[in-house]
Amino acid sequence: MKIALAQLNYHIGNFEYNTQKIIHSIKAAKNKGADLVVFAELAVCGYPARDFLEFDEFISLCEKAVQDIALHCLDIACIIGLPVKNPILQGKDLFNAAYFIEDGKIKSIAKKALLPTYDVFDEYRYFEPATTFECIEFKGKKIALTICEDLWNINENPLYVSSPMDELIKQQPDLMINIAASPFSYTHDEERIKVLADNAKKYQLPLFYVNQVGAQTEIIFDGGSLVFDSEGSLKAEMKYFEEDLQVFDLDEVQNVRNKYPESSRATDIEQIYDALVLGIKDYFQKSGFSKAVLGLSGGIDSAVVCALACKALGAENVMAVLMPSKFSSDHSVQDAMDLVNNIGCLHEIIAIKPATDAYDGMLENAFKGLPFNLTEENIQARIRGAIVMAMSNKFGYILLNTSNKSECAVGYGTLYGDMCGAIGVIGDVYKTQVFDLARYINKDQEVIPINTIVKPPSAELRPNQKDSDSLPDYDVLDKILYQHIELKQGLASITAQGYDEALVKRILKMVNVAEFKRYQTPPILRVSSKAFGMGRRMPIVGKYMV
């Protein structure tokens, strides 16, 4: 049996686009001699469709699309994911399901049993879990078909009390197929490979796994579809961050060594870079936009975002706005201009001194006798926010937010100022990782000026300001933030690692006090295992750790 894995980039709710892409892949797989072509979880509608799933018309369009797709499944079978209605009144109205289509007809339906409700997942909101399981018979083989999470109940601390494969294995299947929508994080690829390899070893069956690729707002899918033999050896690894279609011979997967080429493992920073470029590109293309604007300060955050945007959209589609104030250093303006010249993007220089002078005059009586403080700093940031939003409105640019994860975590940013934007590009990238990204961007030639990388970070909102005036050193801050945010550690456990208790307490308090700000920021491209946004849900008025 020859099995094609179709790793595609879907567009949520764009049924015509998804259907044509799927039909094209069916034809391509047939031309490559495949007997079966496999598509990802909820491929027909895109994942995650969220509350679109509550519309009857949306579900009806899914079914109509599959009927159109089935007409092309002649001399080739396919497995494809979609939501299907639950005919039983009790329980949720839908199943997260997969159709097995052969000879133009739906021959079998597999339903997802393990419905994740952690991090970015909220599947039990919409779907009823499956309770019965049947293998699919095709070309003299029995296929154990599961959907994404159904194979993830295999670690030392299982989330679920049962596993679909424990039921399916009783029917003596010949192979496993798992269709998935497994989001990217830079620590997830190796974990994913281990979980799937453990399944192949446990059940002593070859395993074919297909994932989606592409970004859906903040969630990025990295592809990386996989094939294992019955010993759990990784036999094939498909492309990351790209569409791909490959055909595998079941007998060769089992019996032929080194049949399929190995792929090299990318570093974390390489993966983050590729993910962010894809995230920007898909956010714009799927939203129907093509041009971006951002404030370019001469600092490293905006420089990295500008470079990423130019890679994703083309330099000719990126407008960098330099907005110097009376506190901006000459070298910051020069660093920003050096980047513009290196990268070739559009730019405007709009000094904000006239606006800040106007605010000073308007507020002179109200603020009479009071010293310059954070208020005046924030006014400058909000003036800049108003300028880039004016550029957005006037020219149809989409504003990119340039706040990093370290700043987002501790609230080091101005609401309606530097925290505004349509999409947060590096809001899930710690400051120390931003420096690593800058060096990676410069690996072949100097794109980001060296001075931007080596100079001390500064918001330049008051004389001689440095980030270190307000924040701990980023090397220390980011390690503590990682322990707290990604690893969910509290004061006692972080302090036990040797960090100063007063420092840890101060940082955790800043994180929790800033929660109200994060509720008002744009969606952030997710590249870690715990990003700000829908995957991290904290109360604004909670007392714990404050």
Taken in order of first residue, the domains within the chain and their CATH numbers are: 2-259 (3.60.110.10), 271-466 (3.40.50.620)
Mean pLDDT score of the chain, rounded to an integer? 95
102 in active site: no
Tokens for 530?
């715990």
**pLDDT of 263 strictly over 70:** no
Q: In this predicted structure, what is the pLDDT of residue 323?
A: 96
Phi, psi of 344 (to 5 degrees): 80, 20
Q: In this predicted structure, what is the pLDDT of residue 461?
A: 66
Distances (CA, A) of 514 to 48, 123, 332: 28, 29, 28
Return the amino acid letter for 387.
Answer: I
Please write the tens of the pLDDT for every residue from 26-41: 999 999 999 999 999 9
Tokens for 276?
């962010």
Average pLDDT on 142-167 reads: 92
Predicted confidence band of residue 495 (pLDDT cuts 50, 70, 90): very high
Q: What percent of the chain has pLDDT over 90?
A: 90
Predicted confidence band of residue 471 (pLDDT cuts 50, 70, 90): confident
Average pLDDT on 461-468 reads: 70
Tokens for 140?
């003299």
Instruction: Pick the catalytic residue from 112, 281, 291, 405.
Output: 112
Average pLDDT on 513-534 reads: 96
Predicted confidence band of residue 193 (pLDDT cuts 50, 70, 90): very high
**pLDDT of 457 strictly over 80:** no
Task: Please list, in sequence order, all residues whose beta carbon lies within 8 angstroms of the beta carbon of residue 139, skipping any fewer than 6 positions away.
Answer: 1, 35
DSSP 8-state secondary structure symbol assigned to residue 285: H
Instruction: Give the ranges where 396-497 is alpha helix by DSSP (H).
Output: 405-410, 431-441, 450-454, 474-485, 491-495
Instruction: Pick the catalytic residue from 148, 310, 345, 420.
Output: 148
Q: In this predicted structure, what is the pLDDT of residue 469?
A: 74
Other C-beta atoms closer than 10 Å to the C-beta of 423 total 22
The answer to whether the CB of 448 falls within 8 A of the CB of 300 is: yes
Q: In this predicted structure, what is the pLDDT of residue 498?
A: 96
**pLDDT of 468 strictly over 80:** no
Q: Enter the pTM of the model.
A: 0.95
Average pLDDT on 279-308 reads: 97
Q: In this predicted structure, what is the pLDDT of residue 542?
A: 84
Predicted confidence band of residue 352 (pLDDT cuts 50, 70, 90): very high
Predicted confidence band of residue 535 (pLDDT cuts 50, 70, 90): very high
Average pLDDT on 292-298 reads: 97
225 marked among binding-site residues: no
Instruction: Pick the catalytic residue from 2, 21, 30, 41.
Output: 41
Cis peptide before 83 (omega within 30 of 0): no
What is the DSSP pairing of strand 292-295 with strand 318-322? parallel
Q: In this predicted structure, what is the pLDDT of residue 140?
A: 96
For 358, counting Cβ atoms within 10 Å of its Cβ (0-12 exposed, 13-18 middle, 19+ buried), the class is exposed
378 marked among binding-site residues: yes
Q: In this predicted structure, what is the pLDDT of residue 462?
A: 66
Q: How far apart are CA 22 and CA 20, in angstroms?
A: 5
295 marked among binding-site residues: yes
**pLDDT of 366 strictly over 90:** yes
What is the DSSP pairing of strand 136-138 with strand 105-111? unpaired
Q: In this predicted structure, what is the pLDDT of residue 418?
A: 95
263 marked among binding-site residues: no
41 in active site: yes
Average pLDDT on 404-427 reads: 96
148 in active site: yes
46 marked among binding-site residues: no
Other C-beta atoms closer than 10 Å to the C-beta of 405 total 26
Buried/exposed code over 373-385 (b: 16+ C-beta within 10 A; e: otherwise) = eeebbbbbbbbbb
Task: Of 311, 331, 277, 238, give the one whose Cα is nearest residue 5.
Answer: 238
Q: Which of 201-210, 289-298, 453-462 has the lowest mean pLDDT?
A: 453-462
